[in-house]
Amino acid sequence: MRQLLAHLCCLSSMALSAQTPLFTEDFEGPQPAFILNTTDVGSVQNGSNTWLLNDVYAGGGGDVICSGIPINFTIPSTPGQPAGIVPANGSYLHTAATEAVADGILCCSFASADGFCTNPGNHFTRMDQDVSTVGLSGTTFSFWWLCNGGNSIYGEVYYSTDGGSSWNLITTPIAQYRNQPTWTQQSISLAAFDGQPTLRFGFRFVNGTSLLGGQDPGFGIDDVRIEAQPQVNALVTLAVPVQLCAGQAVTIGYDAQGTYQAGNVFTAELSDATGSFAAPVAIGSVMSTTSGTIAGTIPPGTPVGAGYRVRVVSDLPAV
């Protein structure tokens, strides 16, 4: 009986693409894609603090009436932005103490809750639109931020996968955004962001009661970005018998990596005797979206050779 030799096929995969921007917001346009002061996640629309959008960094002084007694206060200027933020020192999203705003002080600040003159409260702001990451991977949410705050005063970051009906607190790599008085960039990449048809993000400023208070600046945000890359699909053809005969049945195992669409067909292909797949011969197929095996048959009349190879390809997507 004439025999041909088949060898293990190499990895076959789609080319890796660079990160693609899905959403950008630098707060310089006339209609930024964020809604301020929403009631999401137990937050209030009004209170001792508020979210603002402006390009004010200068601090100032004012006074507040507490139990009929005027108390003077001073708000320090918000630190300038580094060159990594474009444009630097432009408009940004930030908290501000309501009393400071009343006195014309519009930089990044907060009034710390003391349980006496200033009530505690949470303040939320969120994207006004969804992005889709279906078919994408490596989704990254990045932004520049600062927040000095205190032990009970800090920022939080949330994501939603249902249009903002419910929100999930992001605790990795940071759960509480505080103790950062100057601008720094944060990037978050979680598997939960991938493959979502309705993904959006939000920020919450938590102002809990504390006798120790806290320090300005409040929670400031700029240059928000969402990026992802096309999902990489790969197929690895597992070992097949070394010696095969023309007309012989063979089982080809394969490892499918990534996501395949419903109706996808995996096909085992045989090269020519030199190992070239310029004109491959299909020797078996199976409709599937996961790893498995394919029942194939070496075509009768296949010439004898020592350089044959076998590979597995897919059609949805083509890999």
Domains for the chain: give ranges and CATH numbers. Answer: 3-16+233-314 (2.60.40), 20-230 (2.60.120.200)
Spell out a b/e string for 220-259, using b for 16 or more CB atoms within 10 Å of the CB, else e.
Answer: bbbbbbbbbbbbbbebbbeebeeebbbebebebebebebb
Nearest to 94 by CA among 207, 215, 221, 185: 221
Q: pLDDT value at position 13?
A: 37
> What is the value of pTM for the model shown?
0.74
Q: pLDDT value at position 7?
A: 43
φ/ψ (deg, to 5) at 275 = 90, 5
d(CA 232, CA 259): 8
Q: Kindly give the parts of the chain with pLDDT less than 50.
A: 1-2, 5-16
Tokens standing for residue 68: 């009929």
Q: pLDDT value at position 2?
A: 47
Q: pLDDT value at position 17?
A: 53
Q: pLDDT value at position 135?
A: 83
> What's CA 226's distance to the chain center, in Å?
6
Q: pLDDT value at position 243?
A: 81
